[in-house]
Amino acid sequence: DAGVTQSPTHLIKTRGQQVTLRCSPISGHKSVSWYQQVLGQGPQFIFQYYEKEERGRGNFPDRFSARQFPNYSSELNVNALLLGDSALYLCASSLNGQGPNEQYFGPGTRLTVT
């Protein structure tokens, strides 16, 4: 069975630009979460979506937005990129995003902002 997939693998953008990252969850999983991991730190929660609705949001500015599609795949959008947005962006899927359900992570998208 395919795991969580993310695209692209790497991305280089310039300050002020916009970027869209994509995630496909494990088949049967209805919840997708997004995390930002800056080098040397633990992942920071950005969003969680379940059944196409936003169910959780971390402490990130409005430049960050996301959505989930009917097939449960998800996109993370970041507008007006800053140098500090350079990080590994991880997507995780789980059955319903609650309780003991495990989160399975994708390989991540490494974003570099110059």
Partner 1 sequence: AQKITQTQPGMFVQEKEAVTLDCTYDTSDPSYGLFWYKQPSSGEMIFLIYQGSYDQQNATEGRYSLNFQKARKSANLVISASQLGDSAMYFCAMREGYTGGFKTIFGAGTRLFVKA
The binding site for partner 1 (CB under 8 A) comprises 31, 33, 35, 41-45, 48, 50, 55-56, 58, 88, 90, 92, 97-100, 102-108, 110
- Please report which residue ranges of 1-114 form alpha helices under DSSP H: none
Closest to partner 1 by CB, 94 vs 113, is: 94
Least gap, CB of 92 to partner 1 (angstroms)? 7
Shortest Cβ 62–partner 1 spacing (Å): 18
Pick between residue 45 and residue 64 the one whose CB is nearest to partner 1.
45
Min dist. Cβ of residue 79 to partner 1 (A)? 23
Amino acid at site 37: Q
Provide the sign of the torsion angle of the four alpha carbons 85, 86, 88, 91, taken in this order.
Answer: positive
What's the rounded Cα separation, in Å, for the pair 114 and 18? Answer: 13
- Name which of 9 and 14 has its Cβ closer to partner 1: 9
